[in-house]
Structure 1
Amino acid sequence: MKTVPVGDITIAYKEVGSGEPLVLIMGYSGTMDLWDPRVVNQLAKQYRVIIFDNRGMGHTTSSDKEYSIRLFADDTAGLMDALKIEKADVMGFSMGTNIAQELTLDYPEKVDKLILYAGDPGGKEALSPAPQDLESIQNTTGTDRERGERLFMEMFPPVWLKENPDPSKYFPNVTSMSPAENVRRQYTAMMTWNGSSSRLPDMEQPLLLITGDQDLLTPPGNSLIIAGKVPQSWIVRMRGGGHGVMYQYPDAFASIVLTFLSYGT
């Protein structure tokens, strides 16, 4: 892990592999440890993969600035500048797709191809999770372990979990957590984002949307909403996949990403 000053914070990040840069943006309450190393290592065979902790998460510092999706996008752009990356392919996961969209729309010159995994357009146009699922992910009470276990149970279809009862075989070893107060601030930023829907037709980058057909936290219909507005877009809907489809089918997931990134090259 390395750190670099970006604006009013210090961002913690890791780099794996070599080649053209591929920036991965983590989702709500997560740290860079949550990226599946099996996926990252496969991507790193062809790309310089950059993973990092968002503002206030894991080992990245915070400040008194009000959290917002646009601020997180500014942080990501600042990290790219600090690492002297003029342009990169970008993949966001869950809330990270909101940040990735904002980054692409605000800094179009910085993004080559865009991948939204478990993405939604935000705002009033987005399809929301069921109330009980929303309540579960915003609950920051209890220990770090209890918070993590609640989120874990939301990420996989019950049938798949029953067939795969040992998380150590497929879930990353998360070594850092995030302060509950910063998680609450991040949740507020996510829920108050006005969304991208009205601006999506301006997006000129090739776009891939990956969704699990049993995703409870980001209903898969959100990918259809986004794809219907972006001129160059593709959807891959993975059968039997939940919000954590990356962990369920890492080889297929990485293959899909690499196939898309090779498009037009």
Structure 2
Amino acid sequence: MKTANVRTITVGGRTLRVATWRLDAPSDNLPLLFFNGIGTNIEAVAPLAEALDDRGFVIFDMPGIGESPEPVVPYNPFTMAWTTARLLDELGIDKVDVMGVSWGGAMAQHFALQHGERVRRLILCATSAGMVMVPGAPKALSKMANPRRFVDAAFMQKHFTTLYGGGLGSSPDRAAHMARLKPPSTRGYLYQLLAMMGWTSAPALPFLRKPTLIMMGDEDAIVPLANGKILHGLIPGSELEIFEGGGHLFLLSHREQSVSCMRAFLNREDAVKQAA
């Protein structure tokens, strides 16, 4: 996080902890707006932000997550997408590429549908179309819903493979990822869970006219590969990249392959022409 500009910004009636990278640096590429997974703080994504060093990067802690203050009232994808648009205004950013992982993948879809004029390209990782999703393994989902994984290191260590697959094994990346996590507040985690209750993007996705890359692990126990195939079928012209042996954290276990895939998609020549 040494290269990040971290600050607290109040927009749309909500105070958010925001991290940005390289927004002031010259670049021919649009900034990447990132929506994180449920209960996950900015620090967990810092390695990815630093790896994508040819563009600006914007991420924020959801209310009650990481170091953003607890939400006073609940929110939903509509209100949070509106708040995100106000945040981009505050940062002086007109247009972005958008990426989301897991819960954040749903937010990324919703933001692209609600504020399409501000989105060029879309990357969806380990995510689904919401209520119509093919559910993951009950054993993994029960651990995912338990915020204890953020506060109890022994619990996280014991159930890490059940939650995220065995791709990371006992590598230093596994320990480093666990060390970067910060516990969300109980209310923050609950409100984030509730935000997507009853939500689905499925009816709207056939009308999503954005170049879209869908990235999925074929051993993801939380969001099975079938969900990526559903998204691929619903989004016109979308691309589906499958990471063999990838669990829910394939962005870590397949780091170089993931970054290479994202760069190729975002830097493609036809993308430059569309932005011109």
Tell me the TM-score normalized by structure 1.
0.89
* Alignment correspondent of 1:239: 244
Equivalent pair of 2:65/2:183 in contact (CA under 8 Å): yes
* Alignment correspondent of 2:146: 139
**1:181, 1:57 → 2: CA distance?**
9
User: Structure 2 unaligned runs (5+)?
Assistant: 1-5
**1:36, 1:237 → 2: CA distance?**
23
Does structure 1 residue 187 correspond to structure 2 residue 193? yes
* Alignment correspondent of 1:202: 207
* Alignment correspondent of 2:3: none
**1:234, 1:200 → 2: CA distance?**
14
Give the 5 Å matches for 1:111-126.
111-123=119-131, 125-126=132-133
Percent of residue pairs bearing the same amino acid type: 27
Tell me the TM-score normalized by structure 2.
0.86
* Alignment correspondent of 1:23: 33
* Alignment correspondent of 1:33: 43
* Alignment correspondent of 2:262: 257
Q: 1:74: Cα distance to partner?
A: 2.3
Q: 1:246: Cα distance to partner?
A: 0.7
* Alignment correspondent of 1:105: 113
Cα distance, 1:35–1:231 mapped onto 2, change above 3 Å: same
User: Structure 1 unaligned runs (5+)?
Assistant: none
For residues 132-158 of structure 1, give each alpha carbon's deviation from its aligned partner in whole angstroms, at most 9, with x where no partner exists. Answer: 221111123587134654774444323
Number of aligned pairs?
Answer: 259
Q: Which letter maps to 2:92?
A: K
* Alignment correspondent of 1:128: 135
Q: Which letter maps to 2:145?
A: Q
Equivalent pair of 2:164/2:249 in contact (CA under 8 Å): yes
Match among 81, 94, 97 for residue 89 of structure 1? 97
Q: 1:13: Cα distance to partner?
A: 1.4
**1:170, 1:240 → 2: CA distance?**
20
Equivalent pair of 2:144/2:163 in contact (CA under 8 Å): no
Q: Please give the root-mean-square deviation of Cα atoms over the aligned residues, in Å.
A: 2.1
Does structure 1 residue 42 correspond to structure 2 residue 51? yes
